[in-house]
Amino acid sequence: MAIKSSILETVGNTPIVRINKLGPATVELYAKLEAFNPLGSVKDRLALGMIEAAEKDGSLRPGQTVIEATSGNTGIGLAMVCAQKGYSLVITMAESFSVERRKLMRFLGAKVILTPASEKGTGMVGKAKELAEKHGWFLARQFENEANADMHSRTTAREILADFEGLGLDYWVTGFGTGGTLKGVSRVLRAESPGTRIVVAEPENSQLLSSGIPQERNQDGSASGSHPSFERHMMQGWTPDFIPKLAGDAQAAGVIDLLQPVAGADALQCVHDLARQEGIFCGISGGATMAAALSVARSAPDGSRILAMIPDTGERYLSTPLFENVAETMTEEEMNIAASTPRFRFDVAGGAGAASGPH
């Protein structure tokens, strides 16, 4: 591989891998693993795309502070980009999102302003707007920023088409957070691979696109308040409490062929199944997308090729319910294994670390 001039040149070109054990034998199931981006999520793409577009059009000036509202992954991506390019970054984030995310952003040099969980996504967006106006900072506006979708059209969509060239792709499955991946990839697939059906997954208990209820918007396209169909769900990074403009654009363009609801329990199960049967470590949103792909696979014609977007890695969910049943100390089974040989016995007087002599 060629030497890179900076970490930013490693964004994109993520692998597509075959899922061998989870789906029906009658179809080919694949996953695009966005955790292979340098900071571990698909949002590295839009972070780089938005900053470079703003530099190009002059809306982001040298030395200016960047601010954005995020559930975490966009903020982590922006922290990487801003650190490399020399911008200060301030993030607003609802306090309900995982602790690991805020620590990662702070580690990369960002300031993280928490907003009340009761205010949901609209609260953190509103706070970011207030701070941008007060201090003259550059507001990235990921939910409406066309540079977000454009980056996916230039990179993600092209990678998918190249990897399936000569094979064909029957279904592309994704959730939506900002809607940038959905809008950017779907328009390219619709134009250049019209036989690919586009499936959008939503939390079963919070189906905004499926509701048919339009999102109320401000003049700039941003949501003016929470969507009436929103309910709290466990898929962090998926489906905020409003329909982002970019997601609404995709739905209005008629590119969505199927809206697939996903139960939280199914998402969690898929995360565990991917880890323990495929060796793929992802977050809850990735499990949810795979659960949606498996639903599609059960009714898809024999020989269908199905691709699921897996947005991030699982390490930023350690403090969430995803890991609540994972032991920190040795289980009884592990203690029994440890006790099966004499070295470093934990079942003898002296406690952890005590070693017994040979028997």
Annotated catalytic sites, by residue? 43, 285
Strand 305-310: give its sheet, edge to edge: 16-19, 28-33, 305-310, 171-174, 197-203, 258-262
The burial class, CB within 10 Å (0-12 / 13-18 / 19+), for 111 is: middle
3 state SS of 200: strand
181 is in an annotated binding site: yes
**For tokens 């994109």, what's the residue?**
12
Q: d(Cα 91, Cα 111) in Å, to the nearest integer?
A: 6
Is 210 within any annotated ligand binding site?
no
Is 180 annotated to bind ligand?
A: yes
304 burial type by CB count under 10 A (0-12 exposed, 13-18 middle, 19+ buried): buried
Q: Are the C-beta atoms of residues 233 and 289 closer than 8 Å to each other? A: no
Q: Is 179 annotated as a binding residue?
A: yes
CA distance 286 to 270: 8
Q: Which H helix or E strand runs over 156?
A: helix 156-163
Q: Is 42 strand, coil or helix?
A: coil
Q: Determine whether the annotation assigns residue 178 to a binding site.
A: yes
Both tokens of residue 167?
Answer: 């094979």
Q: Is 23 annotated as a binding residue?
A: no
Q: How far apart are CA 210 and CA 39, in angstroms?
A: 32
| Residue 73 marked as a ligand binder | yes
What residue numbers does the annotated binding site cover?
A: 73, 177-181, 285
What residue numbers does the annotated binding site for pyridoxal 5'-phosphate cover?
A: 73, 177-181, 285
